[in-house]
Structures are given as C-alpha cells and as structure tokens.
Amino acid sequence: MTDLSVEVCGLKLRNPTMLASGVLDETGKSMVEVAKSGAGAIVTKSVGSTPREGHGTPSVVELENGLLNAMGLPNPGIDLYSEEIEIALTAGVPVIGSVFGGTEDEIASLAAKMEGTGVHAVELNLSCPHARGYGAEIGSTPELVESICRKAKSRTSIPIFAKLTPNTPSIGDLALAAERGGADAVVAINTLKGMAISPEARMPILANKVGGLSGPAIKPVGVRCVFEIHEAVDIPVIGVGGIASGRDAVEYIMAGASAVQIGTAVWMHGPGIFSKVSGEVLKFMKENSYSKVKDMVGVAHADGR
Ligand code: DHB
C-alpha cells in the first residue's frame, strides 16, 4: 500500500500538501473549498492586531515564470477574521493560523489570540519582504527570530511554525535561531524581494515599487533553502516556493521537507492543483517503491538524514 498521509508536529494530513498563506484564504468559504479540492491542510491569511488596507494598486505583476506582489498585508484584523477561521475549521483538515506583527509582544499576543480561535497550529510570518516594520525586517536577524519564537511559545500551547525569508545570507542560521527559540517547525521560503519596471512609464510597476517574487522562478532557491535548513536543524521543515507538480513536491521532500505548501500555482491554476500534485506524488511513489512519504524526506542528502 502506498500511503500519502503525513504527520507534522502532531498534525495529521491526508496528503503532504497545504494551502500557502495569502491565496484563496480571504473567507472561511474559500478555505473550505480549497480543502474540498484536496489540500491536506490550510494556512490562513496573515492577520494582524487591527484592520489594515494594504498598499495601493497595482499590487500584483504577472511575470513569465512567476508573480510579483506587494499587497501590503491587507487584512480585517484578527477579531473580525476569527469568524472566517471558525468556518474554515469545519473543513475537517488541520487549519494553521498565520499572524504578522511589528514587535515580539504584538506577535506573541496575536499567536495567543490565534490559538483561541481553535486553529491547530500558528504560523509566524517573519518574512513579508516589504511591509515596513513587519515580516522580513524583523525576520532577518537570528536573535530577533529566536526571541519572537520564544515569546510566542510562552503564550501558546499549540505548535508554532516560523515562516522564514530567503532574503538573507544564511537561512540555516535563521532556522537554527527559530529552533533555539522553541519553534516546532520552520516554513521555507517566503517570497524573494523583486521589482518590475515599465519602460514606457519609466517607473516601477508596483505602487509599492518593491514586491515579493513567487512561483516557478523561485523553486530552485526554495529547494536550496530547504536543503540547507535540513542540515542545520532537527525540527521539521515545510517547503514552499514554486510547487506546481508532484515532481516539484518530491524535490522539496527529498531536500528535507516533511510537507509542502502551494500558493502561486493555486492563483494560476485554481484549487484543482492540490489533487493534481498529490496524485503525481502518489504515482512517483508507486513507480519508485516508496510506501510512505516519510521515506523520501531528506534522501537527497549524502548521509541520508
Ligand atoms: C505580502 C506578504 C508576504 O508575506 C509576501 O511574501 C509577499 C507579499 C503582502 O501582503 O504584500
């Protein structure tokens, strides 16, 4: 028997795919739809303490091989959004609540509030590439990553995932800091900082000028980051960045990911991508005599870790 199910930090997933934060997660209804389409788990929209409008438009640029976006973390705030989470929780798959904040105290109290909504784990967005004072600005210093994780852990009793930025010289050091701070897993990678310019307008296309690059273009960066993190820490890694096929997912798993997240491919191809990716992973496992996903984790490392 070939078994697609995985267990990550005690969360039981029927297959190794999760919806990445930021796509089709505006409402409880859309998250339920994504679960119905085959996602093994759902990560919610990143929410903060208060409602936030986000950046002006254009906020997304479609590129040949990916997406560049600077939404600016628009969200209704955790109090209003908890109504959507309540609906998402009826989907019957694990729900991971994503939060962002400007200080470690704010992030820790958001994590505690998020736990109160009934989610199964919290993902700390330590890696938005451009919203000033949030995300990667605080998530690129190992000492801060460690203290944020420690404080969030002290206020919660469910697993804490730290979503890390690739915009750093050593993502292994960030992962190690998250592990030292008590994070139960790391998620890698968030988007890469990028820019697109309109030659006719002679100016950056995004209203925010700088945005986060996602999609197929960043897959090799994500695979390299997961590979490095797997060598640096013992906690599970969740791989994300440019996954649109079973082979993409298997690459991440062999680099060391225990599960994967899919975002841009959902935006590009719709929620049917989850059953497509899972089906292709299953086919690969059958053809290569793997009975469990776990048996593929990290096999690309020479020492088999
Ligand atoms: C945004 C947030 C992110 O974490 C990211 O990677 C890209 C964009 C945003 O809301 O703008």
Q: Among this protein's residues, is 149 annotated catalytic?
A: no
- For the stretch 258-271, pLDDT in tens is 999 999 999 999 99
- For the stretch 215-247, pLDDT in tens is 999 999 999 999 999 999 999 999 999 999 999
- For the stretch 102-158, pLDDT in tens is 999 999 999 999 999 999 999 999 988 876 777 777 899 999 999 999 999 999 999
Which of 130, 240, 261 to probe ligand 1 with, by most ligand atoms within 8 A of CB? 130
In the CATH scheme, what architecture does the domain 6-295 have? Alpha-Beta Barrel (3.20)
Tell me if 212 CB under 6 Å of ligand 1: yes
- For residue 47, the number of C-alpha atoms closer than 13 Å in the C-beta half-sphere is 30
Tell me if 72 CB under 6 Å of ligand 1: yes
pLDDT at 143: 95
- Whether residue 304 is predicted with pLDDT greater than 70 in this model: the reply is no
Burial class (CB in 10 A: 0-12, 13-18, 19+), 287: exposed
For residue 159 the two structure tokens come to 């697993």
Mean pLDDT over residues 206-218, rounded? 97
pLDDT at 194: 97
Give SS3 for 91.
helix
Q: pTM value?
A: 0.97
- For the stretch 9-44, pLDDT in tens is 999 999 999 999 999 999 999 999 999 999 999 999
Mean pLDDT over residues 64-82, rounded? 97
Tell me if 166 CB under 6 Å of ligand 1: no
pLDDT at 303: 62
Tell me if 261 CB under 6 Å of ligand 1: no
For the chain, first and last CA: distance in Å?
24
- For the stretch 167-196, pLDDT in tens is 999 999 999 999 999 999 999 999 999 999
- Whether residue 305 is predicted with pLDDT greater than 70 in this model: the reply is no
pLDDT at 133: 77
In the chain, DSSP assigns E strands to: 6-8, 11-13, 17-19, 41-47, 60-63, 66-69, 95-99, 121-125, 160-163, 185-188, 192-194, 197-198, 203-204, 211-214, 237-240, 257-262
